[in-house]
Amino acid sequence: MGKLIIVPTPIGNLEDITLRAIRHLKECNLIYAEDTRVTRRLLTHLKIDNRIVAFHAHNEHRILDKCIETIEQNETTVLVSDAGTPGISDPGYLLIHECIKHNIALECLPGPTAIIPALVGSGFPSERFHFEGFLPHKKGRETRILSISDLTCTIIYYESPHRITKTLNQLLKLLGEDRKACVVREISKIYESFHHGTFSELSAYFTEHKPKGEIVLIIAGKS
């Protein structure tokens, strides 16, 4: 019986990969990757040559049974996403869930994810928080926002730079313009930044200064 090892990879700074992650990437029989080109660049940087197979949102249902069969036949198989921890707003949940159903051993390594450094660095209360992932692109956005409107703990969203102003304006409208938040950009990269303010202040700022890079939005709970 084989084992699936879930390996987080750097979200920006390549120095953030762990020695344990490098060992598994080197020693495993096969790597399932969200984008084989991205993972190949990482392996090349680490001077690792190993077999990579694509496993992503567009093929995971179609190849799932074959993946389970392959994992069972090999000693160790690694699952990675393009950046961060597989399964957190990235492909991986389906394969992990299916492995559990088939009693396949799992090992999940600790490692890079944007949520925790963004939350801690924001200075917002971190003893309790609610992670929402990405809002829907079109339908259901307001319903999702309203569902968290009365939460008293810190709230976390992922957002793209192209939609952050739209999201801030919707939050302003639905949760109130004076709710405090922090827009965190480019965690672990050269231009990492933390912008604090109310929804109103942040909306005005990012309307004028178009952001680039991956964004984590931290929102204060209802007081």
- Summarize pLDDT for 120-137 with one digit per residue, the tens: 999 999 999 999 999 998
Question: What CATH number is associated with residue 46?
Answer: 3.40.1010.10
Q: Decide if 114 contacts 84 (C-beta within 8 A).
A: yes
pLDDT for 181 equals 98
Reported pTM: 0.93
Same domain? 130 vs 51: no
Q: How confident is the model at residue 158 (pLDDT cuts 50, 70, 90)?
A: very high
Q: How confident is the model at residue 209 (pLDDT cuts 50, 70, 90)?
A: very high
Domain boundary, last residue among 108, 140, 168: 108
Same domain? 209 vs 128: yes
Same domain? 31 vs 55: yes
Same domain? 87 vs 7: yes
Question: What CATH number is associated with residue 200?
Answer: 3.30.950.10
Q: Where are the alpha helices (DSSP H) in 78-198?
A: 93-101, 115-122, 141-147, 164-175
Contacts of 218 (CB under 8 A, 6+ apart): 118, 119, 122, 124, 154, 155, 156, 181, 182, 183, 184
Same domain? 100 vs 159: no
- Residue 161: strand, helix, or coil: coil
Mean pLDDT of the chain: 96
- Residue 190: strand, helix, or coil: coil
Same domain? 65 vs 126: no
The model's pLDDT over 70-95, given as tens digits with 9 standing for 90+, comes to 999 999 999 999 999 999 988 899 99
Average pLDDT of the segment spanning 210-215:
93
Same domain? 41 vs 83: yes
Same domain? 129 vs 75: no
The model's pLDDT over 168-191, given as tens digits with 9 standing for 90+, comes to 999 999 999 999 999 999 999 999
pLDDT for 90 equals 87
Reply yes or no on whether the pLDDT at 32 is more than 90: yes
Domain boundary, last residue among 108, 136, 165: 108
- Count Cβ atoms below 10 Å from residue 73 Cβ, excluding itself: 12
Same domain? 103 vs 122: no
Contacts of 156 (CB under 8 A, 6+ apart): 115, 118, 119, 129, 130, 131, 132, 216, 217, 218, 219
Same domain? 81 vs 144: no
Q: Residue 15: give the domain boundaries.
A: 3-108
Total count of domains within the chain:
2
Same domain? 139 vs 215: yes
Same domain? 44 vs 131: no
Reply yes or no on whether the pLDDT at 52 is more than 90: yes
Domain boundary, last residue among 73, 108, 143: 108
